[in-house]
Amino acid sequence: MKITIARRQLRLMAAAVAALALGLTGAGSSPAATSAAADCPTAELFATSNTAVITDPADPRLHTHLTRFDHEVRGIIRAHGSTPVTSKLLQGVFWSGDLKQATYERSREFDINRVSRDGLNHMAGVIAKMYHQESVLTFRCLPRTSPETDALEIEAPGVSASRLHDELVADPVARDKLGGGSVTVDGRLILIAPLADLPLAREFAAKLGVDWQKAQVHYGDREFVS
């Protein structure tokens, strides 16, 4: 995810990426595979070592596997007493209000166990400063009914980065409010959105061709840590 741009976009929401029938008002009538925490790690951390704004989808920097970065961040996680689980390589597509065009970013999502809220926040701050990022996105998986739950994470197969780009550019509301999203190398969408923007996230995901019967939704607390 273009962490720096996404953060600016999300600030606009609350001056602030879904599935049918999440049990929320107006969410629909056919449930997707929802989850509070059963198949979700304690926390997720989205980060990159990139500091450039990339607007060309053919830019060679988008083909890096961030292997060294992966090893270094895993070391940081262990050094803070937590357990790194899996790490997914992502291709992010985000809308830049300043540039008035889509930007791209290669990043990684780290699944983490045995981490507290404060520990995750501190860890993300260390990574942000070490790799000169404006912010690092974290997501803690929580029960939907938790008072700390303020966001949801939608994961669904069958989405390409090019499709994400085209739909984002074509949808001024989604690009301004959601900011964008990421796709794994095997074509799995990852979209994090505030609960308040569930209808918009659901509509945008539908435009991406998401099969709601195969989508998974996790609830939790998302934070941009600088």
pLDDT, average across residues 48-58:
95
pLDDT, average across residues 202-208:
94
pLDDT, average across residues 125-146:
96
Is the pLDDT at 81 greater than 80? The verdict is yes
String of DSSP letters for 65-110: --HHHHHHHHHHHHHTT-EEEEEEEEEEEEEETTTTEEEEEEEEEE
Instruction: Convert the pLDDT of each residue in 159-172 to its tens digit.
Output: 999 999 999 999 99
Is the pLDDT at 23 greater than 70? The verdict is no
In 3D space, the residue among 93, 46, 53 whose CA is nearest the CA of residue 69 turns out to be: 46
Tokens matching residue 128: 């942000």
- pLDDT at position 40, please? 87
Report the range of poorest mean pLDDT among 24-38, 91-105, 162-176, 177-191. 24-38
Confidence of residue 212 (pLDDT cuts 50, 70, 90): confident
**Residue at token pair 């262990």:** 78
pLDDT, average across residues 133-150:
96
- pLDDT at position 32, please? 52
What backbone torsions phi and psi does residue 155 show, to the nearest 5 degrees? Answer: -125, 130
- As for how many domains the chain has, the answer is 1
- pLDDT at position 109, please? 98
Confidence of residue 38 (pLDDT cuts 50, 70, 90): low
In terms of residue numbers, what domain contains 40? 3-225
Is the pLDDT at 51 greater than 50? The verdict is yes
Higher-confidence residue of 16 and 136: namely 136
Mean pLDDT, the chain, rounded, equals 86
Is the pLDDT at 24 greater than 90? The verdict is no
Is this model's pTM higher than 0.75 or not?
A: yes
- pLDDT at position 211, please? 86
Higher-confidence residue of 13 and 82: namely 82
Sort strands 33-35 and 216-225 into parallel, antiparallel or unpaired.
parallel
- pLDDT at position 33, please? 55
- pLDDT at position 214, please? 84
pLDDT, average across residues 121-144:
97
